[in-house]
Amino acid sequence: MDYKTFSLMGIAAIGVYVLSQMGEDKRIGGQIDTYKNMIEQTTLAANTQQPAQKVEAQQQGILQGQVRVIDARTLQFLNPDVKVEIAGIEVCDKGQLAYFNGTPWPCEPMATAWIVSQTLGREIQCQTLDRRYDATVIARCGVNGADIAAEAIVAGHALVDQRGHYKLPYDTYQSLENQARQSRVGLWSSSFTRPDEWRQSVYEDRKSQVRMIE
């Protein structure tokens, strides 16, 4: 286990607890149980599949196995070696802050630590939806039959991707985001800028700096 993984595990234990205490509803687990009854669930019998079946699953765009967390919405499958971006969500970028009663906290490491806490040592299943130019797979992913994107949204560590590019249960995702907002969990315990808007502001700042140099 490398230093980064160990550090993220520590942040996961502390961060998830702290953020759960910030909201009015302190039982994130209870909310997850609620959404599991609302969303489509697809499970793969990974432990019973024969090698030929696993090859067939990969040919159908299904990835399964243990993963390494790269950031709050990016996973790296170990075998096969594939990088996956979780579809349907927006998460805080590196360097982005949220403010709890005026106190800044780094929302990207918290979201990343939460993903680690949900996936570490577990069998992950992902259904390929698209591929980017850099070979990153865009996919809907699950753990123990539960949709990871939905779970991140209801815990307040992710927002619904408003672009709605893929065939996903966006209405359900939006309902879960509303639930997280009302319960004031995760990001919703604090004031923050939507990640897409934050990225745009960073881009504009950098562009203005380039103009000043010129």
Tens digits of residue pLDDT in 119-128: 999 999 999 9
User: In whole angstroms, what is the distance from residue 131 CA to residue 124 CA?
Assistant: 18
Q: Is the pLDDT of residue 159 over 90?
A: yes
Please state the rounded mean pLDDT for residues 19-47. Answer: 42
Does 172 map to a domain? Answer: yes
Beta strands in 78-208 (DSSP E): 82-86, 89-90, 97-100, 103-106, 124-131, 137-143, 146-147, 159-160
Does 55 map to a domain? Answer: no
Q: Is the pLDDT of residue 43 over 90?
A: no
Output 122 or 45, whichever has higher pLDDT: 122
Does 175 map to a domain? Answer: yes
Q: How many domains does the chain have?
A: 1
Q: Domain limits at 189?
A: 62-197
Q: Is the pLDDT of residue 22 over 70?
A: no
Contacts of 91 (CB under 8 A, 6+ apart): 71, 72, 73, 108, 111, 152, 157, 158, 159, 195
CATH number for 76: 2.40.50.90
What is residue 61's predicted lDDT score, i.e. its pLDDT? Answer: 85
Please check whether residue 38 is in contact with residue 135, taking contact to mean a CB–CB distance below 8 angstroms: no
What is residue 165's predicted lDDT score, i.e. its pLDDT? Answer: 83
> Residue 137: helix, strand or coil by DSSP?
strand
Q: Whole-model pTM?
A: 0.73
Does 43 map to a domain? Answer: no
What is residue 205's predicted lDDT score, i.e. its pLDDT? Answer: 64
- Range of weakest confidence among 14-28, 64-78, 86-100: 14-28
Output 146 or 16, whichever has higher pLDDT: 146
Q: Is the pLDDT of residue 64 over 90?
A: yes
Does 10 map to a domain? Answer: no
Which alpha helices (DSSP H) does 79-194 contain, by range? 107-119, 148-154, 170-183
Output 211 or 105, whichever has higher pLDDT: 105
Please state the rounded mean pLDDT for residues 98-104. Answer: 96
